[in-house]
Amino acid sequence: MSLYSSAIIAGFGGQGIMLIGNLLAYAAMRQGLNVTFMPVYGVEMRGGTSSCTVVFSDEEIGSPIIRHPQGVIVLNQPSLERFQPRVEKDGFIIINSSLAQANQADTGRLRCFAIPANDLAEKLGNARLLNMVALGAYFKALGSLLPLESAENCLEQVSPGQSQSMLSLNAEALRAGYAEAKAL
């Protein structure tokens, strides 16, 4: 069986969705995999809806656009309502329980994980770390498919210049999300 994984990451514009999408894609590339990253571009702005799709595989990737992903990260309530029904059967969902209602998780159909990403980020000292916390939880759900270290090792490459001083804090947030993700 070949290795193949698809993910949609969704939330408000400004939550750092494109950054963790890039980080996930970059980590997969560094593992020698094929990867596609597809942003939903256009009229997005801070506070609007934002999402991206990441596919990685050890085989050639056909479609970079995925309607029914194997996994999703939802960082707010509207994204939970919109994307949860689209997750492939036996797929998984990471719910930011700080901003979305984890009790709406479709545990009968999916593997569900809750992570209070905003709260954990604030505990770590910077509310903006919520995206990294959520991505850490995603790596937990991925299991052996991709190690968390692969993301930690790529932080420097994908972080914009002004965030380079936060590399170790970002890595800490990734690990916190990985450790604190709760299976529902």
Under the rule (CB under 8 A), what is the footprint of other proteins?
A: 22, 25-26, 29, 34-39, 41-43, 61-68
CB of 73 to other proteins, least distance (A): 18
**In terms of CB distance, is 22 or 96 closer to other proteins?**
22
CB of 148 to other proteins, least distance (A): 19
**In terms of CB distance, is 156 or 179 closer to other proteins?**
156
Q: Which residues, 6+ apart, have CB-to-CB distance to 117 below 8 Å?
A: 75, 96, 97, 98, 99, 130, 131, 133, 134, 137, 177
Q: At 9, which amino acid appears?
A: I
**In terms of CB distance, is 68 or 106 closer to other proteins?**
68
Q: Helices marked H in 31-166 — which ranges? A: 77-83, 117-123, 130-142, 148-152, 155-158
**In terms of CB distance, is 62 or 108 closer to other proteins?**
62
CB of 66 to other proteins, least distance (A): 6
Core vs surface per residue 62-93: b (16+ CB within 10 A) or e: eeeebeebbbbbbbbeebbebbbeebbeebbb
User: How many CB atoms lie under 10 A from the CB of residue 150?
Assistant: 18
CB of 100 to other proteins, least distance (A): 24
